[in-house]
Structure 1
């Protein structure tokens, strides 16, 4: 164990500072286990990313402590490298950790899980790469491990991020506030480089983990290591039915709703047929305005976790 060097990256603002405290606990526990730990946390995601990239080639693993946005930052650093990604959930949503069954609110158990995974064979999972369909260059590579939200769910995410309550409460409140003015959006899509499809939809999501919105299992059968993404669409549904739809997602009874569809894809380009500006959200964070292209990167991330039966 003494030869292992682990980078530790905590989000200082996640869960009102909880992640920073948890990160210190995890760092101390790893050091007590004989692992060399280098703290890469910064005052911003930009600073933390730069620090992690600077020492990446010297690391055995990068452990991120925070919410889904911090996890995706870690994925951007380690994707397609030998460095393994460890996740300690300490954010407000923790949907990716929930999808993998990782220990929540328990730094000791989370550290034990990391140490166990470090001693086990490498496990790889897929990632989602997000690019501007217009060809505009992004400041850095944009990856997600959970979902890319492109419809009503993106609007709700934007509103929820501006609130200060717990994630599940924020999301539910944002749904109720966003709904009165919402109308299905006029999309165009190209699936796996196929012909353009026009579609009016309330919901368009690219899902890898199958979980979003603080525990909504939008695709209960999603797998993080199958080499495909799940294209989720919801069409032909008005505001009243849309309001009833989201509670059903928590219960897992939404898959029988008329107009709900799931299709395995490898690449999707999505845009709007009008002039409305809509920003894509991924793993809870704002990314770029539509049109966007999202594609699966099979086995791009080496994850410090044992995939449970439901994940595989």
Structure 2
């Protein structure tokens, strides 16, 4: 197959831990041609969506993890599959990319995850579709509502709806002297909507990343355990990752959400679960492939490329 990965600039990716690179390496190992696309090269003209695609060679060594072979502007329909693996922030340019990718999909390009589904599933707000699996949650920009929620529950996590990697996440207790200023700052004085959730003390055992591949859970998750003095488990915030088998509750959540999300064109999803509660549904660029594979021997990249090959064959046949 001819595969194109829409990713961040290649020299910024970290070969020892990047899930997109793990996918690329597995695809190349199987003989598929791998190309890289930067989002800012997407272009629509006369009904066709093109991008500058760079063909890659993928040596095994981490020091030089890729070599560029050739680059040129290509139709997205030239590829057997295009994988949208661009990291947030999910800003207007990201949304614009999903619109352009949708036009390409209409012309016959196979794009995973489906751009409309990426756009429609805000990684924080998507959990509101499944309240039976969530902790007590509030979404608002009204300071009075947030104040009452904090007062009622006593210990709350506040976070913006467009953050990633644990950025701008605050734990606020009822008696926190900075409570008002935190609310004012996060809501930008009431002009920005945020999410509040009951603090889950189970975070001390890890913020679990559960990967769904075409609706089916990988049998191991990565529990991201906060460093001392932190309430955030994100690896980007200094957390440490420990792979572990899925619990019965993890499997229950995965079984309920997996078929629904897969039917919407979300080939790869990362569910975040703390204790028994779903906290986020990640659809833009789910990670943790490398950590799970290194610690358990379960080759997540191979599972993903298996699913991608099946999906392409099925769509070609259909």
* TM-score grouping bracket, smaller chain normalisation: 0.3 to 0.5
Scaled by the length of structure 2, the TM-score of the pair is 0.32
Higher relative contact order (CA 8 A, sep 6+): 1
TM-score scaled by length of structure 1: 0.32
